[in-house]
A and B are shown apart, each in its own frame.
Chain A
Amino acid sequence: MKVSICEAKCIGAGVCVDAAEEVFSQRDEDGIAIVLDAEPRAELHAAVREAAVNCPAGVIEIQE
């Protein structure tokens, strides 16, 4: 699994951090979401998919 975020469209709701804090965080300066672990281990995949489904701006991209 490869995870990326389109930062320009992120709205900083923090939904991804809530779903998978090992994989996502938010930058202190602007609140934009960032990927901590672009190739998360298998047991995190379900949480990452959930983050992508629930991201209100639809900016999380997953390649599997």
Chain B
Amino acid sequence: MTQESVTQERVTQDAMDVQPFPLPRPSGCPFDPANEHRALHEQGPISRVEIWNKSTPWFVTGHEEHKALLSDPALSSDVHRAGFPHFSEATSHRQTDDVTFLHMDDPEHARQRRMLMPRFTKARMEMMRPGIQQMVDEHIDAMLAGPKPVDFVDAFALSIPSLVIAELLGVPHSDLEKFQDLTRVLVTRTTGVDDARNAQNNLLDYLEELINRKLEAPTDDLLSQLAVDRVRTGELTVRELATTGFLVLVAGHETTSNMMALATYAFLRDQEQLDKLLGMDDPKQIAGAVEECLRMIPIFQMGRRRVLKDDVEINGLTLKSGEGMILSSELANRDPKVFENPDVFDIERDARRHVAFGYGVHQCLGQPLARVELQVVLGTLFKRIPTLRLAVDESKLEFKNDGLSYGLVRLPLTW
């Protein structure tokens, strides 16, 4: 690098505005990014933020840069690598046995992901649609038969994804109540660190016991297939497979649940879009509406975190090996270069370029399942209960502002 370009780079970087991360969303705009972070994006698609430990990782807000960087093998997901921008003090002390392939690089990441891939094809997920439709119908029946108002989060949004994952993993019907209880503790906000660890261990113990049963009498489900193909062959231990099952649960439960509740709320506060949704009969249109929810409603609000293991040159900047990076999918999903009038919620737009599921080799494996679940819910709920409405004033709603996954703590509804 020439002296001149070094100087140029320093000037650019010194002039950069650094904002804290995370910051609160603007009041009354529950789906919008913090104004300060929008201001950073207006200055450029790559900036810096300051996180809890005073480090200043790169902050990527541009859609094109988001895709380019998440495709770059210089970015590492390895949480044990120095410079990784941890979510919090607590997650910075993660033990090795807590780390799943989400936090590994290729080739080990690819090896483990590939074991799951055949169970997550779009065709397989579509086979689950009738069962999911039945689950949704039954939950709506129960809501309609029960007292009003109802907490939609508790009565619906937490329950369905957990039952869907139970089905995917192969949890037998006789164990469903136990499985629901175990998973509920995990995602309840009042659960302390020790209780969460206990809940995790109880669930892992349960999954181990279930895998042993599957080894004796395999059925057609994820745990049976991996038990037969990978545990019998010595490729995975029973505990490792239990951990994989646990990962599937963690990745697909709270995220999907939060989206179900937030998307329901998004339609209840926007009559025009709700009317459009109610008028949609073609499954393709409903699928399009789900894509717009994925674009517009942030779930993964703490950003995708990486650390650089090599220097990367991009947009005239040199991102140095050892530096951390936070990639904000919610700002990429509002990039005006890709989405016209990005702050307008419009379920008829083509939103499919969103990066709500991430990008690059770590992109969400369960996305076809999330899509089926959300398509069924949004295609059914308002048609079955056309008078569905908030049972409290909007200002009383409590959001998971500090959660890894954004959502509503409760959503009291009536009809």
Q: How far is the CB of A64 from chain B (nearest CB, A)?
A: 20
Q: How far is the CB of B224 from chain A (nearest CB, A)?
A: 16
Expressed in whole angstroms, the Cα–Cα distance for A55 and B113 within the complex equals: 17
**8 Å CB interface, B87-146 against A:** 110, 113-114, 117-123, 125
CB of B180 within 8 Å of the partner chain: no
Q: Given A18-B371, A50-B352, do A56 and B363 touch, yes or no (CB 8 Å)?
A: yes
Q: Which residues of B contact A14 (CB under 8 A)?
A: 120-122, 125, 367-368
Q: Which residues of A contact B368 (CB under 8 A)?
A: 14, 17-18
Q: How many residues of B contact A (CB 8 A)?
A: 25
Q: Which residues of B contact A27 (CB under 8 A)?
A: 118
CB of A1 within 8 Å of the partner chain: no
B365 touches A13 (CB 8 A): yes
Expressed in whole angstroms, the Cα–Cα distance for A56 and B71 within the complex equals: 8
Expressed in whole angstroms, the Cα–Cα distance for A19 and B367 within the complex equals: 13
Contact digits for A1-34, partner B, Cβ 8 Å, 1 yes 0 no: 0000000000111110111010001111111100
Q: How far is the CB of B117 from chain A (nearest CB, A)?
A: 3
Which of A17, A21, A31, A58 is close to B118, meaning CB atoms less than 8 Å apart?
A31
Q: Given A21-B122, A31-B119, list of 11 further CB < 8 A pairs? A: A11-B117, A12-B114, A12-B120, A12-B365, A14-B120, A17-B121, A18-B122, A25-B123, A31-B118, A56-B360, A57-B71
User: What residues of chain A have their CB less than 8 Å away from a CB belonging to chain B?
Assistant: 11-15, 17-19, 21, 25-32, 50, 53-54, 56-58
User: What residues of chain B have their CB less than 8 Å away from a CB belonging to chain A?
Assistant: 71, 110, 113-114, 117-123, 125, 352-353, 357-361, 363-365, 367-368, 371
